[in-house]
Amino acid sequence: MPLQRRITDFGADVAFGRIPEKLKEHYGTSVPVSSARRITLAQATEMRQAEELQTEIPECKGKDCVIAEADGSMIPIVTNNVEAPGEAPVDRRKVKQLGYKEARLSIAYAQGSVSPVFGTTMGSTKEAGDQLAHCAIRAGVGQQSRVHCLGDGAPWIAEQVSRVFGLQGEYLIDFYHLCEYLAAAADHCAAPAERKAWLKEQQDRAKESRIMEILEALRPHLEPASVSNENAPVRAAHRYIHNRLDQFDYQGAIEAGLPIGSGEVESAHRYIIQERLKIAGAWWKNQNAHCMLALRTVRANGDWEHYWQAQKTH
């Protein structure tokens, strides 16, 4: 078990092919790459299977405010076509399909805390919502807590916030995503010399939650229906805002000292998911990616020692 722990420790951070050289350098032990890969994935699978999500908000009062964020990141996934019964075996290397699938990351922390809780899944949006609830509960959500949620406007995030937090949750569109839409629209709404001033005016309106005024500023410049969506940034900005009118209370968040940007979860994508699952040349089976995310999350949440102590009792 101590050797498996060391192998898994390296496998959480580096490509499987590098584990033998690291074991040799640090411990003077040699293992084949195939064994290192098998052991790491076996432990990662065990971590995913041992995961128990708490989704019912506890009866305690809880922290006054917990901040929760969710976002998706595309992971390189490989699938192999499995031959039907009776068909001649084929070289699966020649029939594999490469593509991408979204890994969903959740993060939660009590207001003022610097110790976030993470959750990851390759599963459904409902599973991601359960992960978000679990993270928030671990971060201190109780019956009287306010849950301040942020995201990039993906409908599934707002839907899951409503499902798992109900009236305790509020959802805010990431301010910088809104600004990206407005910046693209500015080229068509103001003369070149006035574009920065126009954009600044809309940003100021947003921070004061004067969203209807932004829509009025966009409306005269809407592209005609004959223009394709790809060439209609004003229409895109107008639609983005109009479809989410209750998700732009930046003034309320600012006055409460709460973030208006989802930078925490976007940053976490890099050090929780991408540093390992998006290294050069890496392609994953969906199930293996799902389990490796669990391994990375166990490490990030400080549950590493607890997991290995539990293994000793098996």
Q: What pLDDT is stored for residue 80 in this prediction?
A: 75
Decide: 92 and 283 in contact? Cβ < 8 Å: no
Q: For the beta carbon of residue 165, count every other beta carbon within 10 angstroms.
A: 23
What own/partner pairs with CB < 8 Å and gap ≥ 24 does 40-44 have?
40/7, 40/8, 40/10, 40/11, 40/12, 40/16, 40/295, 41/288, 41/291, 41/292, 43/4, 43/8, 43/295, 44/8, 44/11, 44/288, 44/291, 44/292, 44/294, 44/295
Model pLDDT for residues 117-152, shown as the tens digit of each residue: 999 999 999 999 999 999 999 999 999 999 999 999
Separation CA 130–CA 106 (nearest Å): 10
Listed in sequence order, the residues at least 6 apart from 226 whose beta carbon sits closer than 8 Å to its beta carbon are: none
Q: What pLDDT is stored for residue 96 in this prediction?
A: 80
Scanning 17-174, the segments in alpha helix (DSSP H) are 19-27, 33-49, 125-139, 155-165
Decide: 273 and 293 in contact? Cβ < 8 Å: yes
DSSP 15-47: -GGGHHHHHHHHH-----HHHHHHHHHHHHHHH
Q: What pLDDT is stored for residue 305 in this prediction?
A: 96
Model pLDDT for residues 213-245, shown as the tens digit of each residue: 999 999 999 999 999 999 999 999 999 999 999
Listed in sequence order, the residues at least 6 apart from 294 whose beta carbon sits closer than 8 Å to its beta carbon are: 44, 47, 48, 51, 120
Q: Which residues of the chain have pLDDT under 70?
A: 81-95, 314
- Percent of the chain as helix, strand, coil, to the nearest 5: 55, 15, 30
- State the pTM of this model: 0.91
